[in-house]
Amino acid sequence: MAKLVTIGEILIDLTQVGVTELGIPQFVANPGGAPANAAVAAAKLGADAGFIGCVGKDAFGALLRSTLVSQGVDIAGLAETDQAPTTLAVVSVDATGERSFQFYRKPGADICLHESLVDKRLLEAAEILHFGSVSLTADPSRTATMNAVRYAKDRGALITYDPNYRANLWPDEQTAVKAMRQPLPLVDVLKISDEETALLSGFSDPEEAAAALEAQGIPLVLVTLGADGVLYRFRGRTGRVSGFAIKVADTNGAGDTFFGAVLSCLVGKRLNQLGEDELREILRMANCAASITTSRPGAIPAMPTLREVQDKLGQR
């Protein structure tokens, strides 16, 4: 069974790839969903990764299943439902490569992950359990995710969390903030973007936010800064690791690639034995992997192999 397990949403990103001669947007059906993306990113970088989630019994669900298999992700935890279609997210991309999301998810199959569908043997075998906040937006996936996190934590797994904030999935910001902060006492490694610092910590400044989150008991806090790389807070110290200059095609999946790369490096390691120099090397590699993803369209299709990352690191 996989040593790194991610749990949460898997869906289709209908990603804008251009416009026709008449100016009509063109979209491609790309596999996506942050926890699934992270599992693929880690697997492509050599990690033993598995995914727990739910898809519909439809063509998009079959595409997602085959995608995970083709990328080397263990799908023993992937369930199917006939209660809802596979979830869709329409991803529009502006001239700078920045994204906007519109979800077709009322209901969507990812929300239908019931705790009865979660095989506890996968959680018992996991050294790392990773999750995000999209699966916390509605039940039964919310209860299934949180119970899985508690179960794995009690059995010694490293708990990692990426609270992706998608405003249109929540009734209001106050509800989102409360739900997104709830898991923090269980978390060992937290990754947030610079846009989410205030939501998770109450501080908009990345350094203040990271320090405040560490003070809540989170051993390693990572704040991604886009093209500027990443800020980290670890053992009372704050540091930064610069990003890689690249021509951006699409930022979709960059954060998931970054965190998947970090997780691939943490498999088999003890966080309390990790040195700061080693952490900085891990973050440099993760920045490199994310930069490659942003240079290509889509999320999963754009993620690099270990060889690609190694080649790019060797050129710098």
| Model-wide pTM > 0.85 | yes
Number of other residues whose CB lies within 10 A of the CB of residue 18: 11
Q: Which pLDDT tens digit goes with each residue over 107-123? A: 999 999 999 999 999 99
What's the rounded mean pLDDT across residues 158-182? 96
Q: What percentage of the chain has pLDDT greater than the value 70? A: 98
HEC secondary structure over 130-177: EEECHHHCCCCHHHHHHHHHHHHHHCCCEEEEECCCCHHHCCCHHHHH
Angle at 35 between CA 29 and CA 41, to 5 degrees: 80
Q: What is the mean pLDDT of the chain?
A: 94
User: Predicted confidence band at 292 (pLDDT cuts at 50, 70, 90)?
Assistant: very high
Confidence (pLDDT) at 315 = 55
User: Predicted confidence band at 97 (pLDDT cuts at 50, 70, 90)?
Assistant: low
User: Predicted confidence band at 173 (pLDDT cuts at 50, 70, 90)?
Assistant: very high
> Inter-axis angle of helices 276-294 and 254-266, to 10 degrees?
150
Confidence (pLDDT) at 280 = 98
d(CA 268, CA 110): 29
Whether residue 240 has pLDDT greater than 80: yes
User: Predicted confidence band at 17 (pLDDT cuts at 50, 70, 90)?
Assistant: confident
